Amino acid sequence: MTRMSEKASEHSTLREQARNQPPPWIPLLQRLTQISPLWGVWKNADVAIASHGDIDSVSPRNDRDLLVDEFRRWAAEHGMAPTFTCSHLPGSFLAVAVRGRELVELQLIEKAMFRGSTLFDAPNLSSMMVMDDRGFRRLRPGAEALLLLFHMGLRWGGRAAPAGLRRKPIVEMMRGDPEGMLAATRVFGSAGDAALTLATAVLGGGWDRSAALHVEAWAGVRGLRSPGLWLSRGRYRFSGGRYCSMLPVLRRGRRIEGDLDGWIDRTRRSHGS
């Protein structure tokens, strides 16, 4: 083997080793924090940074272009290409980079949905954000846990979702930051007391179905007043996989199987780059 081919093989090995590591998220999160005063990670920051998860953030619509441009610069700096954007998920805008066969995803939530209505946006959560020791903005743990309780721990009809409740340390986070938990009940408006009642029951090892039903009813009524986003969410749930090549891959673990070049070509035609 010639010296040139040895170097090429060594570089290829180093690139593969780098791809086996989680994406280097922290420099990007620091930059996004500086760019947008209302941007912040709303859940699962530690998991995403330590593994191959996505970044779930909230951001104002007016800052979208700046945030996506910074994502593209970051991806290019770390050899991730091509990059795509996707607006097919109602209420969210996705910036995605291809890293080998892995999709690296930054989700910018502009309107978070719950039971057919908008539950929160970036301004709603701004007072509950804190600076992480690593230099980026994130939702304080008690507030994150309360929102995760309704995001993962509640099934339709006010029923508990035990598997969802076990997936995250929701109880521990609420217990460790009761002020943050209480602050997050504000996003539920007139159903805030019911949200707190449910959280209190969960902290005590139980469940309060009537409180959960109260919150669901509140969200349903709000959704009927603003049906546009609710309808777009319904269209996505029933047919999103047929018109978007990216979302099914993201749902299945963010790994592209089969013909990589063919997938990139299809996605470039449907999403641009």
24-30's contacts with Cβ under 8 Å and 24+ in sequence apart are 24/78, 25/49, 25/55, 26/134, 26/135, 26/136, 27/74, 28/70, 28/71, 28/74, 28/106, 29/55, 29/134, 29/135, 29/136, 30/134, 30/135, 30/136
138 pLDDT exceeds 90? Answer: yes
Q: Please give the average per-residue pLDDT across 210-228, as a whole number.
A: 89
Q: Please give the average per-residue pLDDT across 142-162, as a whole number.
A: 97
Q: Please give the average per-residue pLDDT across 49-75, as a whole number.
A: 95
**Predicted TM-score of the model (pTM):** 0.87
In the structure encoding, which two tokens stand for residue 36, read together? 């947008």
Q: Decide which of 180 and 239 is more confident.
A: 180
22 pLDDT exceeds 50? Answer: yes
Q: Please give the average per-residue pLDDT across 40-63, as a whole number.
A: 93
In this structure, what DSSP letter does residue 169 have?
Answer: T
**Cβ-contact 192, 143 below 8 angstroms:** no
User: Helix, strand or coil for residue 193?
Assistant: helix
Tokens 């301004």 belong to residue: 123
> What is the model's pLDDT at position 225?
76
260 pLDDT exceeds 60? Answer: yes
> What is the model's pLDDT at position 8?
42
Q: How many CB atoms lie within 10 A of CB 234?
A: 13
Q: How far apart are CA 157 and CA 200, in angstroms?
A: 19
Q: Please give the average per-residue pLDDT across 116-135, as a whole number.
A: 96
> What is the model's pLDDT at position 10?
43
137 pLDDT exceeds 50? Answer: yes
Q: How confident is the model at residue 271 (pLDDT cuts 50, 70, 90)?
A: confident
> What is the model's pLDDT at position 69?
98
Closest to 191 (Cα-Cα) out of 210, 225, 218: 218
17 pLDDT exceeds 60? Answer: no
Q: Which spans in 21-115 are helix H?
A: 25-35, 45-50, 64-77
Q: Please give the average per-residue pLDDT across 249-273, as a whole number.
A: 89
Tell me the pLDDT of the chain averaged across its residues: 89
12 pLDDT exceeds 60? Answer: no
Query: In sequence order, which residues have a C-beta less than 8 Å from that of residue 265 and are 6 or more positions away?
Result: none
> What is the model's pLDDT at position 88?
87
In this structure, what DSSP letter does residue 128 have?
Answer: G
